[in-house]
């Protein structure tokens, strides 16, 4: 088997599960959060930094790497691990989401998507076969099929057409795989329509994929819709294969989805918000550019063990951001990733001892309490969330 997956514990009062996913570049303890290194870099951080905050697996993006540096360069240097100096596992997204959310002047047909490069204005075709070819050149441990990502608010007929094309593209991706050592995950679509999600899961799980992802969430859906679909869809996926919730989300999103039995996550939020000056802490979000931080002679988070919190005060971070110094976003990125990865480690420990449901309830209550108590000071906790990846 390409990607041996061992489930070692399941929670008693939720569907949370503990597992180990064995890749060519080491084991991943699940549930796991993947740090987003879209362009073969987690912006501002080097691999040693990522290891220091506990990163186990990185996510890179086929769409961006196709445009620059291009697959030929990866073939020449022997793949992404050597190129970026990261020896751990890498998952590549197929580019499907970026085609639908970012690409300009694009045309989508049964063959694939053609679009104009933001680098040199050349036209490119990204088909299911081409996406697999590029991901093979990149040399990721886990590849994703190219999928069609409609807005969750689209008409049901539009969502159905996108789902059916996603299925046909998934079969073409399977047929296009040339390196049997690289795992390939399918992506369940179907918007927030339960019967479509069921149909999609039934179709894809009948095929020999190494894992299954839930796509098309956090694209216009509400949090209750997202939680409902995540719970009902995760239950439709085979227990013996890893499950990946794509592009979601906030710490409460992760806590809910782990309880639904999801194993893998990625989200740009911790790094994206770090560059805007927002930190996730155990007592709610902190915006270091606010004047309240200017003279705050204390760390971002008293209970955090990261190097930023051990070495620097809020006042210093405020100063760095006010001066536009690149050390500011770098220190916040380290802290935010540490915050996310520590949350995952705590979740794994709670599942190991069968107490995940009560752990998650306590964490969610604390987050809710802090976000509400800070709302008058810091604005809505949701007003940072409208970021593209």
Q: How many residues does this entry show for the chain?
A: 389
Distances (CA, A) of 161 to 70, 184, 217, 245: 31, 23, 17, 22
Choose which of 274, 304, 343, 347 interacts with Zn ion (CB under 5 A): 304
Q: At what angle do helices 156-176 and 128-138 cross, to 10 degrees?
A: 50
Distance CA 300, CA 298 (A): 7
Q: Decide whether 341 or 351 has the Cβ nearer to Zn ion.
A: 341
CA distances from 79 to 35, 57, 71, 293 (A): 19, 16, 9, 43
- Nearer to Zn ion (CB atom), residue 66 or residue 320: 320
> CA 167 from chain center: how many Å?
22
Which among 11, 93, 141, 253 is annotated as catalytic?
A: 93
* Region of 55-63, 240-248, 307-315, 318-326 interacting with Zn ion (CB under 5 A): 307-315
Query: How many C-beta neighbours within 10 Å does residue 136 have?
Result: 20
Considering the complex, state which of residue 40 and residue 279 has its C-beta at the smaller distance from Zn ion: 279
Q: Which stretch binds Zn ion (CB under 5 A): 96-104, 176-184, 213-221, 296-304?
A: 296-304
Which residue stretch of 8-16, 286-294, 298-306, 347-355 sits at the interface with Zn ion (rule: CB under 5 A)?
298-306
CA atoms of 101 and 110, how far apart (whole Å) = 18
Q: How far is the CB of 334 from Zn ion (least distance, A)?
A: 7
| Cα within 13 Å of Cα(150), Cβ side | 21
Residues ≥6 apart with Cβ < 8 Å to 18: 7, 8, 9, 10, 29, 30, 31, 348, 351, 352
Task: Give Cα 81 distance to the centre of its chain.
Answer: 19
Query: What minimum distance in Å lies between the beta carbon of 342 and Zn ion?
Result: 9
CB of 221 to Zn ion, least distance (A): 31
User: Least separation, in Å, of the C-beta of 247 and Zn ion?
Assistant: 24
For residues 34 and 304, which CB has a smaller minimum distance to Zn ion in the complex? 304
Q: Could you tell me the smallest distance in angstroms from the CB atom of residue 255 to Zn ion? A: 19
Residue from 141, 253, 263, 266 carrying the catalytic annotation: 266
**Segment contacting Zn ion (CB under 5 A): 44-52, 135-143, 191-199, 306-314?**
306-314
Query: Is 266 a catalytic site residue?
Result: yes
- Sole window of 68-76, 91-99, 302-310, 378-386 interacting with Zn ion (rule: CB under 5 A): 302-310
| Residue 282 and residue 250 in contact, taking contact as beta carbons nearer than 8 Å | no
The total of other beta-carbon atoms located within 10 Å of residue 6's CB is 12
Q: Which helix (H) or strand (E) holds 261?
A: none
Q: Report residue 270 as tokens.
A: 């911790």
Determine the interface stretch with Zn ion among 151-159, 288-296, 297-305, 365-373 (rule: CB under 5 A).
297-305
CA distance 25 to 50: 15
* Cβ count near 222 (within 10 Å): 10
How big is the site for Zn ion, counted in residues (CB under 5 A)?
A: 5
Site for Zn ion in 308-347 (CB under 5 A): 308-309, 335
Cβ atoms of 22 and 8 closer than 8 Å: no
Q: How far is the CB of 301 from Zn ion (least distance, A)?
A: 5
Whether the CA torsion 355, 358, 362, 365 is positive or negative: it is: positive
By the rule CB under 5 A, 306 interacts with Zn ion: yes
**Contact string 185-224 vs Zn ion (x = CB under 5 A):** ----------------------------------------
Q: Which of 44, 68, 242 is nearest to 138 (CA)?
A: 68
Catalytic residues: 93, 266
Q: Which residues bind Zn ion (CB under 5 A)?
A: 304, 306, 308-309, 335
């Amino acid at each position: 088997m390409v990607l041996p997956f061992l489930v070692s514990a399941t929670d008693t009062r939720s569907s949370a599960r503990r597992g180990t996913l064995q890749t060519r570049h080491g084991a991943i303890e699940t549930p796991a959060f993947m740090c987003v290194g879209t362009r073969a870099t987690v912006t501002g951080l080097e691999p040693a930094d990522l290891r220091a905050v506990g990163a186990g697996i990185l996510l890179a993006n086929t769409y961006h790497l196709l445009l620059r540096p291009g697959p030929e360069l990866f073939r020449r240097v022997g793949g992404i691990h050597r190129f970026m100096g990261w020896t751990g596992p890498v998952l590549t997204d197929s580019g499907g989401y970026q085609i639908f959310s970012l690409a300009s002047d694009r045309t989508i047909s049964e063959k694939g998507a053609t679009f104009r490069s933001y680098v040199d204005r050349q036209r490119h075709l990204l088909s299911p076969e081409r996406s697999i070819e590029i991901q093979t050149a990149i040399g990721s441990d886990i590849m994703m099929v190219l999928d069609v990502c409609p807005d969750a608010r689209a008409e049901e007929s539009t969502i159905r057409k996108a789902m059916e094309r996603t299925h046909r593209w998934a079969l073409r991706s399977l047929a296009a795989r040339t390196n049997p050592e690289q795992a390939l995950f399918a992506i369940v679509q179907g918007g927030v329509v339960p019967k479509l999600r069921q149909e999609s899961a039934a179709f894809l799980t009948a095929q020999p994929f190494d894992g299954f992802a839930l796509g098309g969430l956090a694209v216009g859906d509400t949090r209750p819709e997202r939680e409902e679909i995540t719970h009902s869809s995760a239950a439709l996926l085979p227990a013996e294969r890893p499950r990946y919730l794509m592009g979601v989300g906030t710490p409460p999103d992760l806590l809910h989805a782990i309880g639904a039995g999801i194993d893998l996550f990625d989200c740009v939020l911790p790094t994206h918000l770090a560059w805007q000056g927002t930190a996730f802490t155990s007592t709610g979000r902190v915006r270091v550019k606010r004047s309240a931080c200017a003279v705050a002679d204390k760390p971002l988070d008293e209970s955090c063990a990261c190097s930023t919190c051990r070495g620097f005060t809020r006042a210093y971070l405020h100063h760095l951001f006010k001066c536009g110094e690149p050390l500011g976003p770098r220190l916040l990125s380290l802290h935010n990733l540490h915050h996310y990865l520590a949350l995952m480690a705590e979740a794994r420990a709670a599942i190991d001892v069968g107490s995940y449901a009560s752990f998650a309830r306590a964490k969610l209550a604390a987050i809710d309490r802090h976000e509400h108590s800070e709302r008058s000071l810091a604005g809505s906790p949701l007003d940072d969330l409208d970021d593209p990846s």
